[in-house]
Amino acid sequence: MYINGNWATAADTEFEIFNPATGAVIQSLPDGGAEAARAAIDAAASAFKTWRATTPYQRAEFLMRAHALMLERQEELAKVMTAEQGKPLRAAMTEVKYASDFLQWFAEEGKRVYGEIIPSARADQRFYVLHQPVGVVAAITPWNYPISMITRKLGPALAAGCTVVLKPAEATPLTAVETFKIFEDAGFPPGVVNLVTGADPKPIGEEFTTNPKVAKLTFTGSTAVGKMLAGKAAANMKRVSCELGGHAPFIVLKDADPVHAAKGLQLVKFLNTGQACISPNRIFVHREVLESFLETFADRVGGMKAGNGMEQGVTIGPLVNEAAVAKVENQVKDAVAKGAEVLCGGQRLIEGDLGQGHFFAPTVLNNVTPDMLIYREETFGPVAAVVPFDDDDDVLAMANDTHYGLAAYVYSQNLTQAMRLFEGLEFGIIGINDINPASAAAPFGGQKDSGLGREGSREGLQEYLETKVGGFSI
């Protein structure tokens, strides 16, 4: 743990971090709880008094040094991530670069936190609006993107003048440790950034949501946990932003290029072994282009190589744990029992070394229907559920038939149809012939049960700022 500029390398108890590809123990870390979280919050509260007084230009210098160090250590960070999370090394390298983008972008955007002057109806009055940092931020990040979710939260918080306490996912804390070594080497003052690791998130989350010194909670994870944390934080009048689950539709209209759509889907669906909140779950394909689409899609999916992410040529890694494998397997069995057709995959991978890890074959199911679990539940695994449809006018209602609202994708060569769906889909992020509608400069977040607030972009910076108005009589 890293608290008030000091590393705690030992504790009364420790917990183990496992490699999901091999089942081997990588390392043990201090098992912090409420007491460690409280010490980190105290350190952050003390440091806030001086950090908030620094200029945006001074804060930008720290962030830019961290950005440079992250790029310098890109391969080292990626190897740690692959070892504890499982994604192929190439994908881990890409994530480190994406994580560094948030440090760079918010270093610059922090200089553009402008106020304003509002005219008054009174001749002797002026209104001045000022934006100031909210205070101590408690951040909780997930295991599926263990470095980019750190910088997407800490980048804007630090640029705004806040201090931070981070609790990384218990499955992937080693990437966070290496990231905080970068913050330390970048020269951030003691207490500005703090790291608490622990096997049990409950006592730390309880401290985050009840400690009066915490002004804001930011969380990425499941909808159930997000709702629980948001409720506790709201009871203590803390600001909250949550990026939660998704159940993304991927819509291929009859005027789309089915081959182009199939290639795009294969890339985004199996990214991170399907363990992404923006991963397409329900794939709606017009029946007129279904055959061509499935031919290309199943061929590409069937050619993917599963294995340890450190090995050359591996394109899909393990799931995070045994429970994740069991969930995926249950969804596939349920779909097949109710009439779905398996075009490729459909089973656990246990041959050779794969049997030591948590692997499931990249799978394509056709003829998925609304009565199947996979149609209703977020999969978070390497299974593509294809739902044929006949009428472009009906697909909008089918896509919106979910309590989630994070990401959606549309493939069409008709601008009118694409715009109709873009405006009508009840989702916060929509890719139109685009599988990567995300950037440090673009707002990221969902509607309905997929979350509150936005990350990235100038909206992401506003999440860490309070608005103050002054009425001056002159």
- In sequence order, the β-bridge partners of residue 165 are 138, 194
Q: How far apart are CA 466 and CA 408, in angstroms?
A: 31
The residue with tokens 């950037």 is: 439
> Which tokens belong to 423?
């405006």
Q: Do residues 327 and 289 touch, judged by C-beta distance below 8 A?
A: no
Provide the terminal-to-terminal Cα distance of the chain, rounded to the nearest Å: 52
Alpha-helix runs per DSSP H in 169-216? 173-185, 201-210
Q: Which residues contact residue 322 at a Cβ distance below 8 angstroms, ignoring those fewer than 6 apart?
A: 358
Q: Which residues contact residue 115 at a Cβ distance below 8 angstroms, ignoring those fewer than 6 apart?
A: 128, 129, 130, 131
Q: Do residues 269 and 374 touch, judged by C-beta distance below 8 A?
A: no
CA 39 to chain centre: 27
Nearest CA-CA partner of 249 in 66, 379, 351, 67: 379
CA 222 to chain centre: 10
- In sequence order, the β-bridge partners of residue 384 are 364
Q: How far is CA 109 from CA 15, 152, 158, 159, 289, in A?
A: 38, 13, 11, 8, 44
Q: Give the three-state DSSP class for 88.
A: coil
Q: How far apart are CA 227 and CA 248, in angstroms?
A: 20
Residue 434 CB neighbours (<10 A)? 13
List residues with catalytic annotation.
243, 277
| Count of alpha carbons within 13 angstroms of residue 351, beta-carbon side | 5
Burial 215-240 (b: 16+ CB within 10 A, else e): bbbbbbbebebbeebbebbeeeebbb
- What residue ranges in 278-380 does DSSP mark as E strands? 280-286, 341-344, 363-366
